[in-house]
Amino acid sequence: MASENHISQYSPRQRELFIQKSTRVAASYLRRAESLEDPPEALRPFFDVLGRIFVDLEDVPKPVGMKTVGTYCVMVPSELIWAAGAMPVRLCSGSYTAYTIGDDLVPRDACPLVKSVMGWEIGASPLYENCALMVIPVTCDCKKKLAGMLEQWKPTVTLHVPSSKERDADMAEYVRELYRLIPMLEEVTGRQVTSQSLAEALNQKGYAQYEMSRFLAYRQNNPPLLHGTQVMAVMNTFAYMPPLEWAECMRRLNDELEQRLERKQFAAKSNRPRILVTGSPIMYPNLKIPLLIEEMGGMLAADETCMGERALYDPLTVTDRSFDGMMRALAGRYTRPCTCPTFTDNRQRIFRIKQMIKDHQIQGVIYHVLRGCLVYDYEYPVLEEELEKEGIPIIRVESDYNEEDVEQLRIRIEAFIELLKLKQFSEQKARGTA
């Protein structure tokens, strides 16, 4: 009912324009990502899913009759939603068109992600419209207020994420939050979360993460087998596919990458500077920064963002097979290793990035800050200081959800890549003479 009111605010003409514009932008970014040289054949199903949702504006590929539950952060345990018999979808949006609509609904200094999410209330996407429930972890002020606004539109649940992780009581709090979520999910689906259904969901996610861990080994290869932008798109699709299907597609991709490795068919030469992107979330279709890096001759070798590796990297560790044991494991897995800056002490993110630099042979770091994303901005100086000690160059780039800042970003990223190349060259020279 509430949603009807919201839709009626916008005229059919306005919606038509919105649909035209948003699908055009989505299609163009998808094309740019696809057309990076020599994409593996197995990437097709992933791009198809993104195209289906954001270009054709269809619902997610889900089993018939299954309800969807929208989630807003990596801290919502997707396993729990699957166990209740619903399909989780990520609703964090990267749409520039929706951003322009949301700009009028949300204060000026709010982050573009929230604005973009609010823009979808225009009622154009079944992804949002078909959601039976929205789950929003309170991870920053914008998300907190977003939860309040979404309540007018859809039934919502907020999850209170502890602000620190040191005490066991914090963890126990989050376990309780997850327990509170269960009856609400059950109400939506009419099915019960049982030990069996939860265990089944954990196994499926486990299989996806098994394929993911295989994939990571190929991703660390130098020269690269795959473009980082494509990897980010692939990671995005996990939020819109059932885990087994995703894992199966991933298995095919892994098999193809294995063959490519044997044939020495690389996506780029090894002399491209290997770059890590970290910071604010990068949602499809807002792929401008990854694309700029790779179009300017850099190699996006790894990412430490919540829509990328972070969502799938950490496996679930169940130490006790009881229902409570699994719930505790879920609460632990979605908070403790999470490097989200919502936590007061987030020193572990620096260690994580350092380890990724080692694993992926990173030469430079691009710190992405969405305008208004304060929590990520707070952590930049600390990381800069730490990486300076390691001798890894880092730049901070701020972006918004529009294409007006692309040229400015292009210049900065190009200069950074040139700097990395120069450094690489002088290092090679020094090694040659020594």
Partner 1 sequence: MKKIKYGTAAVWIICALLTLAAFFAKDFVLYDFQMMPSNYAYTRSEAKPAQASSALWFALGADRELQYGYDDGIDPAAVLLYGKTEEEVQPLTSADMSPIREDLIGYFAAALPARQENGRTVHDFARADIGPHTYELAPREFNIPEIPFEVAYAERKYIQVFYQNQLLTDAEVTVTDGNGSEAVYRTDNHGWISGLPIETLRSGFTASYSPDDQNVYRMYYLVEDYEYFTVHFFKAHIPLLIILALTALGIVIVYFLREWYCRKDPAYAVYGRERPSFGGGNPLRERTNSKFLLIRWLFLIFGFFFWTYAGKLIHQGQALNQIAVPVFSCPFNLDQTLESSCYYLTHLPILFTRNWGYILCFLGTLFLSLIFLGRMLCGFMCPLGLLQDLMDQLRKVLHIRPIQVTDRMNKAIQPLKWLWIILFLGFVFVGGDFCDICPNKVFSTALGGWWASYALTGFLTVFLLVGSFFIKRFWCLMCPMGYLLGIFYKFNLFKLKKDCAACTECGACYEACPMRLKNIYTERDKANVQTVDCLMCGECIHKCPENNALRLTFCGKDIYKSSRKAFISKYAPKTSAGKERQTHGK
Q: For residues 236 and 251, what is the distance between their CA atoms, to the nearest angstrom?
A: 17
Give the DSSP letter of residue 316.
P
Dihedral of the alpha carbons of 93, 278, 234, 18, in degrees to the nearest 10: 20
Backbone angles phi, psi at 157, to 5 degrees: -125, 135
Q: Are 116 and 98 in contact (CB under 8 A)?
A: yes
Stretch in the footprint of partner 1 (CB under 8 A) among 33-41, 119-127, 351-359, 369-377? 351-359
Token digits of residue 346: 């987030």
Q: For residues 87 and 68, what is the distance between their CA atoms, to the nearest angstrom?
A: 5
Q: Are 232 and 282 in contact (CB under 8 A)?
A: yes
Residues 6+ apart with CB under 8 A from 146: 72, 114, 117, 118, 136
Q: Which helix (H) or strand (E) holds 87?
A: strand 86-90
* Least gap, CB of 359 to partner 1 (angstroms): 9
Question: Is 328 or 360 the residue whose CB approaches partner 1 more closely?
Answer: 328
The residue count for binding partner 1 (CB under 8 A) is 59
Stretch in the footprint of partner 1 (CB under 8 A) among 42-50, 224-232, 288-296, 311-319? 311-319
Question: Is 186 or 414 the residue whose CB approaches partner 1 more closely?
Answer: 186
* Least gap, CB of 299 to partner 1 (angstroms): 23
Longest dimension (CA), the chain: 74
Question: Is 239 or 329 the residue whose CB approaches partner 1 more closely?
Answer: 329
Backbone angles phi, psi at 256, to 5 degrees: -70, -40
Question: Do you know the residue count of the chain?
Answer: 434
Stretch in the footprint of partner 1 (CB under 8 A) among 148-156, 179-187, 267-275, 361-369? 179-187
Question: Is 224 or 242 the residue whose CB approaches partner 1 more closely?
Answer: 242
Strand partners, 18: none
* Least gap, CB of 318 to partner 1 (angstroms): 4
Name the pairing type of β-strands 364-370 and 394-399: parallel
Regarding 220 and contact with partner 1 (CB under 8 A), the answer is: no
Which residues within the stretch 107-146 sit at the binding site for partner 1 (CB under 8 A)? Answer: none
Regarding 344 and contact with partner 1 (CB under 8 A), the answer is: no
Among 103, 132, 130, 137, smallest CA distance to 117 is for 103
Binder among 27, 57, 105, 199 for partner 1 (CB under 8 A) = 199
Question: Is 192 or 271 the residue whose CB approaches partner 1 more closely?
Answer: 192
Give the DSSP letter of residue 340.
-
Binder among 2, 17, 351, 388 for partner 1 (CB under 8 A) = 351
Question: Is 210 or 380 the residue whose CB approaches partner 1 more closely?
Answer: 210
Site string for partner 1, 250-289 (x = CB under 8 A): -x--------------------------------------
* Least gap, CB of 346 to partner 1 (angstroms): 10
Q: For residues 133 and 188, what is the distance between their CA atoms, to the nearest angstrom?
A: 7
Binder among 196, 270, 271, 408 for partner 1 (CB under 8 A) = 196
Question: Is 93 or 335 the residue whose CB approaches partner 1 more closely?
Answer: 335
Question: Is 200 or 400 the residue whose CB approaches partner 1 more closely?
Answer: 200
Among 227, 219, 225, smallest CA distance to 36 is for 227
* Least gap, CB of 296 to partner 1 (angstroms): 30
Stretch in the footprint of partner 1 (CB under 8 A) among 28-36, 68-76, 152-160, 240-248? 240-248
DSSP string for 186-245? HHHHS----HHHHHHHHHHHHHHHHHHHHHHHHHT-SS-SS-HHHHHHHHHHGGGS-HHH
Q: Which helix (H) or strand (E) holds 394?
A: strand 394-399
Which residues within the stretch 322-341 sit at the binding site for partner 1 (CB under 8 A)? Answer: 322-326, 328-329, 332-333, 336-337
Binder among 194, 259, 265, 270 for partner 1 (CB under 8 A) = 194
Q: For residues 96 and 403, what is the distance between their CA atoms, to the nearest angstrom?
A: 8
Binder among 355, 361, 426, 428 for partner 1 (CB under 8 A) = 355
Half-sphere exposure of 41 (CA within 13 A, CB side): 6
Q: At 158, which amino acid appears?
A: T
* Least gap, CB of 194 to partner 1 (angstroms): 7
Residues that bind partner 1 (CB under 8 A): 63, 165-169, 171-172, 176, 179-180, 182-183, 192-196, 199-200, 202-204, 206-207, 209-210, 213, 242, 244, 247-248, 251, 313-315, 317-326, 328-329, 332-333, 336-337, 347-348, 351-352, 354-355, 358
